[in-house]
Structure 1
């Protein structure tokens, strides 16, 4: 079953919620920066990328950790969608 980008976004939101249960509901949305917000720390970002790579079947490489990929949840979701599509 092919998952949509909305599914990728939900996977990111779910990971953040599980990793940081103290975040108030609605405090993370599609425009939330994963670099400057309190949603995840640096280890959390690494774990998120490993989780997404395993879930969507792509290898994590140096390019994955470009800060531009973490500009927002939506930006990361698009990056993951591109990677799993083989782009």
Structure 2
């Protein structure tokens, strides 16, 4: 799962180069923080789906999956092909 978290952090850093280092942590909400806007969240999900071979359907866009970086990493890791 560490690789999924690293991919999330790298995506956020690339999308928001002005964010101070360390301002996004595992407990940072992707919904309520300034880390990503709504389009950024959609782009992140598509990026993670492609990178880790996870099929993302519209039910996956439940806000509970974006409670934190850690929550999203678990969500993606749980759906990765073996």
TM-score by length of 2: 0.96
Superposition CA RMSD, Å: 1.0
* Whole-angstrom distance in 2 between the partners of 1:58 and 1:26: 27
Q: CA deviation at 1:63?
A: 1.8
Q: Does 2:38 match 1:42?
A: yes
Q: Give the 5 Å matches for 1:46-85.
A: 46-85=42-81
Residues 2-52 of structure 1, C-alpha deviations (whole Å, 9 max, x = no match): xxx011000000000000101011000000000000000000000000000
Counterpart residue number, 1:24: 20
* Whole-angstrom distance in 1 between the partners of 2:67 and 2:78: 16
* Structure 2: gaps of 5 or more residues: none
Runs of 4+ off more than 2 Å? none
TM-score by length of 1: 0.91
Residues 60-83 of structure 1, C-alpha deviations (whole Å, 9 max, x = no match): 101210000000000000000011
Query: May I ask how many residue pairs the two structures share in their alignment?
Result: 82
